[in-house]
Amino acid sequence: MRGVIAAGAYIPRGRLDRQEITATFGKGGGSGTRSVASYDEDTTTMGAEAARCVLRDSDSVDPDSLWFATSSPAYLEKTNAAAIHAALRLPRSAGALDLGGAIRSGIGALRTALAGNGTTLVVASDMRDGLVTSSDEAAGGDGASAVLVGDESAGPVIAEYIGSGVVTDEMLERWRIPGARRSRTWEERFGEAAYAPLIDLAFADALADSAVSAADIDHLIFTGMHQRAVSRNRRRLGVDDAKSVDDLSRVIGNTGTAHPTLILASILERAEPGETIMVMMLADGVEAIVLRVTDAITEHQSTHSVETQLTQSAPISYGKFLSWRGMVDIEPPNRPAPNRPSAAAAHRRADWKFGFVGTRDRSSGMIHMPPARVSQKGGAVDDMEEAPMADTAGTIASFTIDKLVYSPSPPVVFAVVDFDGGGRTPIELTDVEPDEVQIGDRVEPTFRRLFTSDEIHNYFWKVRPLRTAASDEDS
């Protein structure tokens, strides 16, 4: 049996109320909210967070490949998947590939992994926006998803891959040239009409390939960037409306490349053994994947579920959204912008910078963050072992709010954190309201982009209020 071993998602904490757009400009916006990546997040960091969730939920399953799909890459030419690979501390022998540019590449990567062999972690991540008041701005969302695909021999399969349908059609329906600030679309009616026959074709192929009928489908995930083509054409399939899955667009918006697998992850949190799931996406043709939920799903636990993340949110003002997206420039503190990191220094310390791995002195047990060769306690030299800290929670020993220092989004909230089981480091806090931080607050590491200098993204870890199993800690 081959299929999905685990699936998860990362939804950033910020939510923009679409009414704010309407109130500000007298047009655009709409009802509901959309998810907003923080100023220190990009598709790479969100992808890393989604992938961390999945690997946490499927312990001891090591992917031999990592595929990363986004329409909004942090870098071109350089492999963004390599940063995620480093944050996950995958072995060097594990491949890491970007499948870039097209929105279709996310679901396409999943289908290719399901139809292929080996154990592949498929990560899709996107940040969607457009010009002020555009429909892309309001309808878009930010988020990432990750699906671990493999054979039963690698780990329990929670959803078996039973078939797919693929249709490719060259069409100028949605496009963006490299470097452009916004996407362009052709007249709506064109796409709606053009997609209709392609949907029929892909759907029929998928049903035939998986030997199921439309009536057998328990969960239909039907997505695409063309809202009208999606909403008007769904009924063509003859699947009961009740089987159509909520696409979360009213809460988080459409997360583009990440969206079909993000919704799949949310469905797998509540699917029952034996149920059939169809995932379809309209993007220059149609991708359709059919999965059957297995008994193993009952044993599967999601430590960082989509359902919880939907509730762990905080409003982001439209002004913040625009400044974080580079649509307006905010006056920075009159301090020098940070220096670019050194490639050589970062390479030497990739375990620390990307993996948040300190060292533990074997003789005294003291944890050193950053890693050290000479022990602070006892002075032993070169007698250290790795101390991975990325999945360790901690407690704020003291904190401060710095309104003077340079930051892409002042002020900086900074804390001295004592990690459970040992290890202290002074580190920046993120996803917090500055006036709500208190000594004793519980926090956990999160992979972020500190700043960008000289076109180099400076990735490192921060801490955020504990989200994983937050309710357990509170009770």
Partner 1 sequence: MGSHGIKDQVAIIGMGCTKFAEHWDKSLDDLIIDAAQSTYNSAGVEQSDVDAFWFGTSQSAASGLALAGPLKIQGKPVTRVENYCATGSEAMRQAAYAVASGAYDVVMAVGAEKVKDGGYQGLNAFPIPTDGTQRTLTAAAMFSLILPAYSNKYGIDENELRYVIAKIAEKNHHNGARNPLAQFRRETSAEQICEMAAVAGKLSVFDCAGVADGAAGVILCRADQAHRYTDNPLHIKALSVVTGTGAGSLDPDYDYTTLDECRWAADDAYAQAGVTDPRSEIALAEVHDCFTPTELVLMEDLGFADRGTAWSEVLAGAFDLDGRLPVNTDGGLKAFGHPVGASGLRMLYEVWLQLRGEAPDDRRIPATDRTLGLTHNLGGYPGEMVSFVGIYGTEPG
Contact residues for partner 1, defined by CB under 8 A: 334-336, 338-342, 344-346, 348-349, 352-353, 366, 368-370, 376-377, 397-406, 412, 414, 416, 418, 422-428, 439, 450, 458-460
Name which of 146 and 396 has its Cβ closer to partner 1: 396
CA distances from 381 to 98, 264, 363, 375 (A): 40, 50, 10, 7
Report CA 145 to chain centroid distance, whole Å: 5
Least distance (Å) between residue 284 CB and partner 1: 38
- Least distance from partner 1 to the Cβ atom of residue 362, Å: 16
- Phi, then psi, of 260 in degrees rounded to 5: -60, -40
Tell me whether residue 103 or residue 390 sits nearer to partner 1 (CB atom): 390
Q: What is the DSSP letter of 342?
A: P
| Contacts made by residues 403-408, CB under 8 angstroms, sequence distance 24+ | 403/333, 404/333, 404/335, 405/333, 405/335, 406/332, 406/333, 406/335, 406/336, 406/337, 406/338, 406/451, 407/333, 407/451, 408/39, 408/40, 408/324, 408/451, 408/452
Q: Is 336 exposed, middle or buried (0-12, 13-18, 19+ CB in 10 A)?
A: exposed
Q: Which two tokens stand for residue 364?
A: 């005294």
Tokens for 413? 């909230």
Smallest separation (angstroms) from partner 1 to the CB of 439: 6
Nearer to partner 1, 172 or 374 (CB): 374
325, 40 Cβ separation under 8 angstroms:
no
Q: At 261, which helix (H) or strand (E)?
A: helix 259-268
CB of 273 to partner 1, least distance (A): 45
**Shortest distance in whole angstroms from residue 342 CB to partner 1:** 4
Q: From edge to edge, which strands make up the β-sheet containing 357-361? A: 367-368, 357-361, 384-388
Q: Among residues 289 and 415, whose Cβ is nearest to partner 1?
A: 415
Write out the two tokens for 321. Answer: 């959204």
Q: Which two tokens stand for residue 324?
A: 């974080």
Query: Which CB sits closer to partner 1, 107 or 427?
Result: 427
* Smallest gap from residue 340 Cβ to partner 1 (A): 8
- Nearest Cα neighbor of 101 from 122, 121, 76, 81 is 76
The least CB distance from residue 332 to partner 1, in Å, is 11
Our CB check for partner 1 shows the closer of 131 and 374 to be 374
| Nearer of residues 298 and 376 to partner 1, judged by Cβ | 376
Residue 203 CB, shortest distance to partner 1, in Å, is: 49
Q: Which is nearer to partner 1, 227 or 452 (CB)?
A: 452
Name the residue nearer to partner 1 (CB basis): 209 or 418: 418
How far is the C-alpha of 473 from the C-alpha of 362, rounded, in Å? Answer: 31
Q: In the bound complex, what is the minimum distance in angstroms from residue 334's beta carbon to partner 1? A: 5
Q: Residue 250, Cβ neighbours under 10 Å: how many? A: 13
Say if strands 285-293 and 2-10 run parallel, antiparallel, or are unpaired.
unpaired
